[in-house]
Structure 1
Amino acid sequence: MGRHRKQSPATVRRSSVIALTGLVPAGLVTVASASEGGDAAPLAVAVQTPENEQDAYGARPQSADPLAATEFVAHAMAKAAPTAAPVVKTVALPNDRQRAELPAGPMGVPGISMAAYQNAERILAAENPVCGMPWSLLAGIGRVESTHAFGGKADADGNPLSPVYGPVLDGSLSGNQVVGDSDDGALDGLAGYDRAIGPMQFLPQTWKHYAADGNGDGIADPQNLFDAALTTGRYLCDGGLNMRDPAQRTKAILRYNHSMAYVANVMSWATSYSTGAAPWAGDTPKI
């Protein structure tokens, strides 16, 4: 896919990059640079946190506690076994669902998101040990892409309380590519054009290629945190990449956005989550 001009948003409270193998929270995006890097070439867009949402920088920091971290893998979703060939679809859910009540992880990572990231680490360790995917790297991606579904606004099954959608990719955003419909609206609810979907920001066509069932319910739903975290891990690990090797890890992250500033942000947060130390401002350059 071609490159795009980066357009500075007129008013930005917090900006992050969404892989259009990824998604953007609903209606809150401006264009950011993208590239052909990696096995799949995502577009990318920048996300603004709604004014009524708490910025993740304001979350209460917590020190990393290895014993406390084990609480998350005990979550029911984290113990489910994924199916080999899940049904790829978005599940319609009622609007009166309650937010999950799980203790926050290091640096305020929402408990339900933490459970999803650690669950993906466990599954990937078994199915692709060569990759060496740590939960903290998935958390770094989740932080930059959607602030962990806007601060963990998801139910106990890992489904966002409100579906997360990106902008319509019809060329109306200055500098953004036109992306024609690839799923007949089945995943993104649109006909004619695509838009990104879910907390880890996937385009429908990329989701269909890598879709994984992270909670063992037989469905690969891009909106579900457990499915999205495992799919992100498979996407980053694709091609035999090893996350223990800095060069290969960088190559994998660049699949989301071909920007070293993006890599720096993801790795800064990943390191923060694994150590419990907040990143320095200089470690998270503007993307």
Structure 2
Amino acid sequence: MGRHSKKPNPRIRRDSVISLAGLLPIGLVTAATATGAAAEFPSITKSPVSGSPQAISHLSEGDTRSTVGGTTAESVSAPENVPTPMAPAPVQATPPLPPSVAQGALGIPAVNVSAYQNAERMLAVQQPGCNMYWTLIAGIGRVESTHAYDGKTDENGDMLVPVLGPVLDGSIAGSSVISDTDGGALDGDANYDRAVGPTQFLPSTWAHYAADGNGDGVADPQNLFDSAVTTGNYLCDGGLDVRDPRQAAKAVYRYNNSSAYVTNVLAWSTGYASGIIPTASDLPRIH
């Protein structure tokens, strides 16, 4: 959980993405910037538009054929003791995506992609120097809530069931004690704070960076479009340019001061830009 503690080369091998993530997390963003955004999905600026995800195939199949030309078999004596040629190794199929993100192109539900891409467009106008790209926001969304519980929203991006982090009363080992800052208005707890929404903001942080992503006049942390733009605002704060890998890593560290967290977010971001999706076993555990 992000607690706010107060597009790449498609020819990259699958294992290289995570190798780079483990060695130098910031390098993953460099790969993400080379390719740019993936195929377009239905998206909104003022009001959401529903649509169907495009299927993406990571492998193409072909067959190999050999020809025998020239002399016929009758005119040539068959050589003796010729070893039988070995059959070519079978093509390895792409491993299945983790079950929790099996729907939608790249494993992201279409409404989430619309929200992330909408945030990129809005921030390109509002904070052009930040150079925000949607896959970085998607990396946060994947790690924080598995894309809003795998797209458990209505067509407008409103959560069907609110996303609420654990109560920060110190009962969880390693967690901070954070007293209530919003009277329970956003998190339903008037004694202690808890992170809210699919990109997990503390109420006080949400109040500072909140943005209306779908033009309905309300900044709601439980709305995908609002939370995506707010996430971008938070990552861009301080004049950061996230096309610079070091600044991108700095922005994600701000979200959660954990190297494992940063590696996970940047690995997913790179995967969404390249189509080489990391598996759970490839990623360091976030404590």
TM-score category (smaller protein) = 0.5 to 0.7
Q: Which is greater in Rg?
A: 2
Partner of 1:221: 220
**1:277 Cα offset (Å):** 1.3
**Where does structure 1 lack aligned partners over 5 or more consecutive residues?**
1-17, 22-40, 43-64, 82-99
Map of 1:144 onto structure 2: 143
Deviation at residue 66 of structure 1 after TM alignment: 9.1
Distance 2:174 2:41 in 1: 44
Structure 1 residue 271 and structure 2 residue 254: aligned? no
1:27-83 Cα offsets, whole Å, 9 max, x none, are xxxxxxxxxxxxxx35xxxxxxxxxxxxxxxxxxxxxx999832322xxxx1208xx
Q: What is the alpha-carbon distance in structure 1 between the residues aligned to residue 239 and residue 261 of structure 2?
A: 22
Residue correspondence of structure 1 range 55-134 to structure 2 within 5 A: 69-73=39-43, 78-80=44-46, 102-103=52-53, 105-134=104-133
8 Å Cα contact 1:131/1:242 also seen in 2:
yes
Say whether the 8 Å CA contact 1:105–1:114 is kept in structure 2. Answer: no
Matches within 5 A, 1:244-283: 244-279=243-278
Amino acid at match of 2:114: A
Shift of 1:196: 0.9
- Alignment partners' CA distance in 2, 1:66 and 1:265: 19
The 2-side partners of 1:285 and 1:267 are apart by: 12
Equivalent position of 1:62 in the other structure:
none
Give me the whole-angstrom Cα distance separating, in 2, the residues matched to 1:67 and 1:148: 18
- 1:138-177 paired onto structure 2 within 5 Å: 138-177=137-176
Task: Give the whole-Å Cα distance in 1 for the aligned partners of 2:262 and 2:282.
Answer: 10
Offset at 1:280?
5.9
* Distance change (3 Å), C-alpha of 1:184 and 1:194: same
SS of the residue 2:255 aligns to: coil
Q: Which residue is 2:2 aligned to? A: 19
1:2-41, aligned counterparts within 5 Å? Answer: 18-21=1-4, 41=5
Identity within the alignment, %:
58
Query: Which whole-Å CA distance do the structure 2 matches of 1:283 and 1:134 have between them?
Result: 24
Distance 1:20 1:196 in 2: 7
**What CA distance in whole angstroms lies between the structure 1 residues aligned with 2:178 and 2:229?**
25
Separation in 1 of the partners of 2:281 and 2:36?
Answer: 27
* Consecutive unaligned residues in structure 2, runs of 5 or more: 7-34, 54-102
Cα RMSD, aligned residues only: 2.2
Counterpart residue type for residue 45 of structure 2: K
TM-score when normalising by structure 2: 0.68
Aligned length: 207
Q: What residue identity is the alignment partner of 2:235?
A: L
